[in-house]
Amino acid sequence: MQRAYLTVIVSSRILEKGKSSSFHFNTKRKETVMQTPVDTRWMIRRDLPEVLDIEAQCFECPWMEEDFLCCLRQRNCTGIVALLQDRVTGFMMYEFIKHQIHVLNFAVAPWARRQGIGKQMVSKLIYKLSPQRRHEIILEVRESNLPAQLFFRSQHLAARAVLHGYYEDTDEDAYQMSYELPGYQEMLVAHQPKNRISDFWDILHRQQGVA
């Protein structure tokens, strides 16, 4: 029941469109590429005022406190904050589903952008992948949220589907983007069970020139 609530109430609000003022190609970026190292840790209730502040600055339809709490109460959901000198500069919420990490919310404070903080958060997620358990990261981005699409693409997530009318508020489409652990497909093939029947089909296919 709770799981259904999370999916219906929270997923419908996830990854909302950024306020247009926050989204622009940062043409005034300094030439030197900065990567500010951030600390990350689990989100706790005390972080919520800062998290909600960032959320409100990033999205037109921001999550409310109850949305975060609802998520954090789920056993399969996690919140992570990125800290710069003890100040919350970014956060992400994700849920573990069977073989995937599904990102529900992801944001960096406008004043802290283009310093590699988002990139470090994605790296944390990638680090959690393993061939045995979750081998894929998935998320949805609004069709109009080009900066986020470019960001995730720069982190090697690829668009794999268009979800029509995904967002209830505007009926906007979402791009579903994903990242799969490199080499996972090859590993699957290599570990396919072998027996006399599969050997027979391999030989037959080779004789028939089927790949």
- Per CB under 6 A, residues contacting ligand COA are 15, 18, 22, 25-26, 33, 58, 106-108, 113-119, 141, 145, 147-148, 150-151, 154
CB of 73 to ligand COA, least distance (A): 22
Using the minimum distance from each CB to ligand COA, give the nearer residue, 147 or 172: 147
Using the minimum distance from each CB to ligand COA, give the nearer residue, 102 or 113: 113
Q: Residues 90-94: contacts with CB within 8 Å, 24+ apart?
A: 90/38, 90/54, 90/117, 90/118, 90/121, 91/43, 91/47, 91/51, 91/54, 92/121, 92/125, 93/43, 93/68, 94/125
Using the minimum distance from each CB to ligand COA, give the nearer residue, 96 or 147: 147
CB of 94 to ligand COA, least distance (A): 12
Question: Which residue's entry shows tokens 């247009």?
Answer: 20
Residue 165 region by backbone torsions, left for phi larger than 0, else alpha for psi between -120 and 50, else beta: left
CB of 11 to ligand COA, least distance (A): 13
